[in-house]
Amino acid sequence: MLIMTAQPTAVYHSRSKINLGLEVLSKRKDGYHNINTLFYRLDSPSDILRVSVSNTFQLSVNDLSVANDSSNLIVKAIERCSQLKAIALPGIEISLEKYVPIGAGLGGGSADAATAIEIFSDWVSPLTPKEKFEIARSIGADVPFFLMHSYAALASGIGDVLIPIDFKLNYPMVLLKPKTLSIPTDKAYQMIELSNEKKATDLYMATQLPIEEWDGLIRNDFEEVAFTIEPSLAHIKERLISSGATFSLMSGSGSAFFGIYQTLEQATKAYEMFRAETTLEVFINNNE
């Protein structure tokens, strides 16, 4: 297989995301749900994918709890790229260093899939932007977002209808995820109560307001579900607020929460305090 690069190895950073608001509006006839959300890309945490030439396609992972077979979205992405180009699986090895928590609502697996699509295009056979997005959409609703160059995008439909927006969060952020607790996305959707179709909040306009005014306006409909499944999660959010965060929200269907602070000094102090606890995974973003 011809490798379309002269590089012996390459390193790719696979970013994560938060949801600045997540509303479940209605259930569709196909069984999925229409949502309204604002995806926002983070620089930390991020996974690292190292690529090298190999005799066969291989995926290795530094986390034994992460599968390296076709259930892994990286493998699925490479398989679908190969199918689209009508070629055999390429002779490359991808080594995944996993740092984005699993089951956190931070989009780690989706980001890895998007990065794998870019790897295939760089190393094996060039893909057009349309081809990349078609493959991404076939893997997961939020995978296309990670192919975008924009920091932020409004998402509707099942999360796959994307509108990039010019928005940059210029405040530091701390993320917390309980190490042993995750919320299954399918279970979270099953527990969402929908009587009538909800009206979507204009999340772009909401984020133009001072952060002090976000509470009550920007919401995550999965928080109530998560607190029902695991009441201790409400304490995570309360602790972020008590540590000085001006605004806090759960990301995705959980179980990670983010807190936005007015100053880097506040965020750093909170980060150091939470990092001392062995039960939490803790990350900080300067967002400068």
pLDDT digits (tens, 9 = 90+) for 16-52: 999 999 999 998 888 889 999 999 999 999 999 999 9
Indicate if the pLDDT at residue 204 is higher than 60.
yes
Q: What is the DSSP letter of 218?
A: B
Indicate if the pLDDT at residue 205 is higher than 90.
yes
Determine whether 142 is an active site residue: yes
pLDDT bin (cut points 50, 70, 90) of residue 188 is confident
Helix (H) or strand (E) holding 160: none
- Give the Cα separation of 250 and 108 in Å (integer): 15
- Give the Cα separation of 2 and 87 in Å (integer): 11
Average pLDDT over residues 125-138: 97
Q: Where in the chain are the domains?
A: 9-165, 173-285
pLDDT bin (cut points 50, 70, 90) of residue 4 is very low
Mean pLDDT of the chain: 93
Average pLDDT over residues 124-135: 97
Percentage above 90 pLDDT, the chain: 83
9-165 and 173-285 share one fold: no
Average pLDDT over residues 221-233: 93
Helix (H) or strand (E) holding 265: helix 264-275
74-77 contacts at long range (C-beta below 8 A, 24 or more positions apart): 74/49, 74/112, 74/113, 74/115, 74/116, 76/113, 76/139, 77/113, 77/114, 77/116, 77/117, 77/120, 77/135, 77/136, 77/139
Determine whether 29 is an active site residue: no
Class of 173-285 per CATH?
alpha beta
Indicate if the pLDDT at residue 1 is higher than 50.
no
Q: Which residue has the tokens 């409909």?
A: 221
Q: Which among 98, 38, 43 is positioned nearest to 66, based on CA atoms?
A: 98
Active-site residue among 17, 132, 177, 237? 17
Class of 9-165 per CATH?
alpha beta
The pLDDT value recorded for residue 207 is 95
The pLDDT value recorded for residue 193 is 78
Residues 16/111, Cβ–Cβ less than 8 Å: yes
**Could you give the maximum distance between any two Cα atoms of the chain, in Å?**
57
Q: How many CB atoms lie within 10 A of CB 130?
A: 8
Helix (H) or strand (E) holding 156: strand 152-156
Active-site residue among 142, 160, 221, 237? 142
